[in-house]
Structure 1
């Protein structure tokens, strides 16, 4: 039986990765920060350790065949930032994998990262990708378009009564469900892909995402388009006026929202069904 080590196991994607690899017959070791968060994970072994502290990782990858890291932070907290987690913690995982003679390492990155390296979250991930690709290990970099969970921001605005968009709202994205992405990651790694851009089965404009949100709520669409100059101005002011935990994710979403985020489609799950389930859960 092959053995996989999954970092970031308690995140949105990490749980699906654990489930996918276990269903495919792999022995799954899940890395978690606190054991209480990992009790419901579909994993054969749960290890509690701090990836930001390299000493806590010593020896935990013995007999592991593959490391898959979905480790990263969206909102900075606990006094750590993107360079602490998205870069250094992944470097620590890579170095432990190398010292343990792990055969493969897969990393979940960001689509269009080369156009967003001025965004701290992306810059930290991109720096790790360069480190990974120069290491003496087979590697796969996965660049998803966006998760269904990210699209929840449209639903949140719609629940508040209005969706606000910068510009024309014609930028396109084909977001993907975590379960579909986990399956696509398994296939890409199994096939030995060096890089894989992955999106979902349906492509939407931002206007269509807004309309879909109101449709899920059975409400009349109310969409307001703001001048794109306000987005650019906000990007300039955010680092000066907002705390890092707010500025960081806002910089990413405001930057990504100004470009098409589409990639080859994978999976079958529909965003409308996801929105419907989110609405039902909130009742």
Structure 2
């Protein structure tokens, strides 16, 4: 039985990767910070290696018997004093260094689409720097660049729930986010096929306006969309680093930069974003009702 090490295993995508490889008959080793918490969360890995990817000394022994590393390791909101260059770049480089030292034959990395077009966005720049190091390393590599996750689209649903979606420009730029389980399947297929760089998106391509309309439709409300001049988006990108802390402006810079370009990739998968919005809307409506019932019981 082959062994895969999954880094970022407890994250949204990482869990789907663990589930996919376990279902495919691999022995799955998960890099985690706390094995007890990972087991309590029912992460379906076969064994857990406790370590900090930012601390190379804590990784000694992690690659024993490993045939493949799949890393979705990265941060969206900076915390614990760590930034994108500490995690998205250096922590992944620590894993790559350990893999090379132990003769691991293959390493796969989950990147982001169009990172090379966002050199002034720290999140994208750190990921791009590692992707370039991986491509140049003497190891068989696969880099997967998704156009975005369904889970990232929650901001549109939140704005619609608040009553209005705010967009920059004319709303015609396009995107096709992909479900986590569909992406995990595409990742496994790309690795098995030894593909080097794989941009991937979901089956449905939306304009930003169409995405906002889908959010309102899931809530059963008429669409109320306001288009702001795009110069406001550009001004916000320049201003935010000066007036907000890193854990705020870090993800905001990426979000605002991505909104200024087409974020489409070859469509794959079967799960539909409209169905995801419907499911999220139903769960959000059920939660207050459950809380009300509990408070009156």
Cα contact 1:16–1:179 (8 A) shared by 2: yes
Q: Which residue of 1 aligns with 2:6?
A: 6
1:1-283 to 2 correspondences below 5 Å:
1-39=1-39, 40-282=42-284, 283=286
Cα contact 1:6–1:29 (8 A) shared by 2: yes
SS of equivalent residue, structure 2 residue 70: strand
Max radius of gyration: which structure? 2
Deviations 1:195-216 (A, max 9, x none): 0000110000110111100111
CA drift of 1:36 comes to 4.1
Deviations 1:108-158 (A, max 9, x none): 111111111110001111111111111111001100000000011100111
Q: Which runs of 5+ in 1 are unaligned?
A: none
Cα contact 1:199–1:262 (8 A) shared by 2: yes
Cα contact 1:59–1:100 (8 A) shared by 2: no
When the two structures are superposed, what TM-score results if normalisation uses the length of structure 1?
Answer: 0.98
CA drift of 1:34 comes to 2.1
Q: Which runs of 5+ in 2 are unaligned?
A: 287-297
Q: Distance in 2 between matches of 1:50 and 1:209?
A: 38
Deviations 1:1-38 (A, max 9, x none): 11100000111100000011111111111111222441
Q: Distance in 1 between matches of 2:53 and 2:98?
A: 10
When the two structures are superposed, what TM-score results if normalisation uses the length of structure 2?
Answer: 0.94
Cα contact 1:3–1:66 (8 A) shared by 2: yes
Q: Distance in 1 between matches of 2:62 and 2:31?
A: 9
Q: Which residue of 1 aligns with 2:289?
A: none
Cα contact 1:54–1:92 (8 A) shared by 2: yes
Q: Distance in 1 between matches of 2:207 and 2:37?
A: 36
Q: Distance in 1 between matches of 2:222 and 2:34?
A: 43
Q: Distance in 1 between matches of 2:94 and 2:179?
A: 29
* Greater shift in the superposed pair: 51-60 or 273-282: 273-282
